[in-house]
Structure 1
């Protein structure tokens, strides 16, 4: 086995995007991450802005990690899942400081995966992992290109097996995706990347 080191691995954050079919997709991903993930997870799930969301409560039952709606000016903590609130863009800045914005829609949606991924790319560069799960539309495609350009790693759910193929297909079409995986394979891939301490 690898010798124990107290330095963190190469990766420092995971950003996830989902839309239609996302509750099932996020449940599968988060439940597979285990209770000891060493990095924060930021999630954009397209939600109906007219209703209070119960997504944090639903996902909390599917994972051992704490799940909460992100708050403006909150600093991310390792092993915590932060969800973009309905109708607010979720961004992250240097030192893991979150911000929420009600700026204009991007590709007709707010929150936008593109804006999240672009902020993650800017703040974390090569230490970022982005995951695109099931969904309609093209949100996330520009963002994964930003992640890749800054040296990060991109995982997409396989469009052939995704419940809704639009978002995964758009991501894969950019050429920026490193791994195209079935939903049940993504959590293990994320864990493997985060836990790999080789530098």
Structure 2
């Protein structure tokens, strides 16, 4: 199993605090306890949470139920434990969806899966141009469908940008700005039709 390296630069005071916090949580201490003891900032805590989620995902890929998986189950509950939440059942495919999928296969762009029953409704806010420089990491096709999505990074955070072309003027909105691991999970759910 390949263990993901921490997403922070080694050799800084913050890196020392964050690495120590991960070690203590993996040993069984609660994150609230560790936050108090090490005086973690909000950014420190988010980085520690993201790294714990990445470690748990690596353990699961390796077929293990190790300390990171147990820590994630203890700290975040079942909603963050991929194995505790069964995947939604496959619904029968309506004819219009089958036709749309056939059209999508003709296009080389990435297309999100149609909305699944019980999908999560995301909170979208109006795009204000908060960040001067935005990098696009991944995107969905904007040719075949009227609503397209972009996985973006800016200022050390990530977000999803949605462009809705169903109206006269395109409307651009964004998801919440969050650390990378959380937004990548959101992006995966969006592509799978489990969120919109």
Bigger Cα Rg: 2
**TM-score for the superposition, normalised by structure 1:** 0.27
Which of structures 1 and 2 has the larger relative contact order (alpha carbons within 8 angstroms, sep 6+)?
Answer: 1
The structure with more helix, counted as a fraction of residues: 2
